Structure 1
Amino acid sequence: MVRTMSERANQRFDRRGVAERTRIGFFSKALAALTVTASIAAGSAHADAPTDKVVLIGLDGLMYDKVLQVHAPNLLRLSADGLLSRSSIAPHITISGPSWATVLTGVWDRKHGIENNDFTAAPFAKYPTVFTRLERADPGLKTHSIATWDQLATMSGSGDPRADVVLSTPPVPDDPDEAETDAATATSVVGAITKFAPDFLFTHLDQVDHAGHRDGGASDAYLDAVRRVDEQVGRITAAVDARAKAHPAERWTILVTADHGHRPRGGHGGQTPDETTNFVIARGPGFTPGERTSRYTLVDITPTVLDLLHAPADPVFDGRSMVDREPAEPSTVR
């Protein structure tokens, strides 16, 4: 068939149009494929992004000198693998209520106003606990409190919002030294870490303080309690390490502190060196193994937890984050 010049021109135009549409289609598909690939990569990167998690272990009435005396292996290992600060909390009140309130709020007793173990949730409206601050900063965070001493539920269960999980271990029958009750608390902590991996978990073990009251800080019973509580610290640490190994994207920090010491013959609440002695251990990615200082005390715990979990600090704090370790004087009572 003979085509006119006009027909041949139209045919060339149609072929160019098809070719152009083919090129456009190819580039559109390529762009779509790149977009999908980028989205998958971004999603994968997000899924693999490090997630910081913190476990705070509170050991009631524990003096670090006694940790050294009995060569408590788990606490000594945590100290060797991270930062250890040994200092004094004088003139802060050396009673559990005021001290744990300071641990969980970042302000000294003169601010939160708790003077003994008979307290309500009222002070935590003005000075929110670390649980409330974390939940306000990121409601998606999982926060747990698991304690032997039931009064700590008043603190962790206060505020709006409060901790997601608040548990007090019921006293185990026929447990005169609280060893079995503390073991039950540690079992709950191990289960929570293994199954739920909370972003922040606070736990409290009480048997050392119990021994101090009953037999004195210089007694063999006190040393036995230190050995036993060290075993529970080891169980909790092992659970953290196993979880971290199984989930490499999770970055776990363990903090350890105490609320006060004990007089040689027992008791606390005064201002002797045995009563005001305090220590803080911080083991995790942000801390240098073997670092020793006297700059930090229990008042620095809440600012540190907030820093590690990317929540804002508050100018009201008397403490400061241990993550920012610039030379400074210890956090003293204002």
Structure 2
Amino acid sequence: MFNVLNDWKKTAGSILLAGLLVPASLAGAAAPPETSVAPSIAGGTAGGSESSVVQHAGVKPEGGQAAPAAAKKKKVLVIGLDGTRPNALQAANAVNLDALAANGAYSWTTKANSNYTWSATGWSTIHTGVWYQKHGVTNNNWTGSKFGPYPSLMKRAELYNPALSTASIVHWGPINDKLVEGIDLEKTVATDAEVASNTVDLLKTGNPDFIFLQFDDIDHAGHTYGFSPKVSQYTKAIEGVDAQIGTILDAIKARSTYAQEDWLILVSTDHGGKGTSHGGGSSEETTIFLIASGASTVKGQLTGATYQADVMVTALKHLGVPVSSSWNLDGRAVGLVQ
């Protein structure tokens, strides 16, 4: 798995510059004709208008300045794979997740909550951008939650820009029942297949800007057979969800407006697992992964530390939603072209 990683490494005569592979002889020089300058996603306003101008050499209007291309609409898809260990993901034949990693930034050593690797705790950290010490969730009963001062960052995105179309489609219902609120669509379904089919329908018939998905079958396989890359039923469950993700990626690319859109696809998990359980602080339970894929991401393995709390903060930055210091977040944006 991940043979594609070899394609990203530096080769003789080429370097990776600002997210584009260009000849070494052009390093530090202006972009060649018909080569886009990599966009910056820092700052700006919501809904994608913060995209930097993409300029093409040799195309100049009157006055000698390069003509700007139309800014692409920023959109985010967050895919949550419940109970997925990174080494099992690497061992599985997950061609669609492979492709997302190949077209973006990734880490196989992202850290989850250190002591409470429960689903409610992990999804709360992903959604709120803070650790359990702040959001208060340390079990699957959701007791002690503090979502008043630390709401889902999807809600914060809606409050900043009500024009955003937001959706949460999940297999594990408590995410929508207890955590997600203040967004346009909350849908809980009975199977992972329905998570995928409902998302495909939304992409075909709607115009979503910010989507969160949660798939649960991998976690079920871990509890039944074991959370291990050596357990075939567990890796097969990853491959099954990967195929469903493929239908979603196809639906994104089939959109009539796809050429005018800049999709950031984030993939992560709530926890790992050890034996047939989780909830503790072992490395098998707390070591997770993060993939950030799309045109606005850097390419290759992330060298700095990454954390579960970074996921939704990264989504907000791509959407141009400013993060206030008063939110007291623990996460920060990672993997994006600066």
TM-score normalised according to structure 1 size? 0.75
Q: Are the counterparts in 2 of residues 156 and 163 from structure 1 also a CA contact under 8 Å?
A: no
The residue aligned with 1:73 is 95
The residue aligned with 1:186 is 196
Q: Are the counterparts in 1 of residues 113 and 131 from structure 2 also a CA contact under 8 Å?
A: no
Specify which of 73, 78, 82 is matched with residue 51 of structure 1. 73
User: Taking every aligned residue pair, what percent have the same amino acid on both sides?
Assistant: 36
Q: Which has the larger share of helix?
A: 1
1:236 offset after TM fit, Å?
Answer: 1.5
Letter in 1 for 2:174: Q
| Cα distance in 2 for residues equivalent to 1:240 and 1:121 | 38
1:248 offset after TM fit, Å?
Answer: 1.7
Q: Are the counterparts in 2 of residues 121 and 154 from structure 1 also a CA contact under 8 Å?
A: no
Name the SS for the 1:85 alignment partner: strand
The residue aligned with 2:235 is 223
Cα distance change, pair 195–131 in 1 and its aligned pair in 2 (3 A): same
Specify which of 265, 276, 279 is matched with residue 254 of structure 1. 265
Cα distance change, pair 92–325 in 1 and its aligned pair in 2 (3 A): farther
1:325 offset after TM fit, Å?
Answer: 7.0
1:309 equivalent in alignment to 2:319: yes
1:314 offset after TM fit, Å?
Answer: 3.0
Q: Residue deviations 1:254-279, cap 9 Å, x none?
A: 1000111111x210011111111111
| Cα distance in 1 for residues equivalent to 2:159 and 2:113 | 32
1:124 equivalent in alignment to 2:128: no
Name the SS for the 1:86 alignment partner: strand
Name the SS for the 2:203 alignment partner: helix
Name the SS for the 1:56 alignment partner: strand
Q: Are the counterparts in 2 of residues 94 and 271 from structure 1 also a CA contact under 8 Å?
A: yes
1:198 equivalent in alignment to 2:198: no
The residue aligned with 1:144 is 167
1:280 equivalent in alignment to 2:290: yes
The residue aligned with 2:121 is 98
Q: Residue deviations 1:109-146, cap 9 Å, x none?
A: 11100011112695211101112101110111110000
The residue aligned with 2:136 is 113
Unmatched segments (≥5 aa) in structure 2 = 1-66
| Cα distance in 2 for residues equivalent to 1:278 and 1:216 | 16
1:237 equivalent in alignment to 2:249: yes
Larger Rg computed on CA atoms: 1
Q: Residue deviations 1:213-269, cap 9 Å, x none?
A: 1111132221211110111121122222222x6432211111000111111x21001
| Cα distance in 2 for residues equivalent to 1:64 and 1:187 | 25
Instruction: Show structure 1 runs of 4+ deviating over 4 A.
Output: 45-48, 323-326
Cα distance change, pair 255–155 in 1 and its aligned pair in 2 (3 A): farther
Specify which of 217, 223, 236 is matched with residue 213 of structure 1. 223
Name the SS for the 2:254 alignment partner: helix
Alignment RMSD (CA, Å): 2.2
Name the SS for the 1:248 alignment partner: helix
1:211 offset after TM fit, Å?
Answer: 0.7
| Cα distance in 1 for residues equivalent to 2:179 and 2:113 | 25
The residue aligned with 1:62 is 84
Q: Are the counterparts in 2 of residues 299 and 318 from structure 1 also a CA contact under 8 Å?
A: yes
The residue aligned with 1:320 is 332
Cα distance change, pair 155–249 in 1 and its aligned pair in 2 (3 A): farther
TM-score normalised according to structure 2 size? 0.74
| Cα distance in 2 for residues equivalent to 1:92 and 1:317 | 19
Aligned length: 267
Letter in 1 for 2:97: L
Cα distance change, pair 322–94 in 1 and its aligned pair in 2 (3 A): same
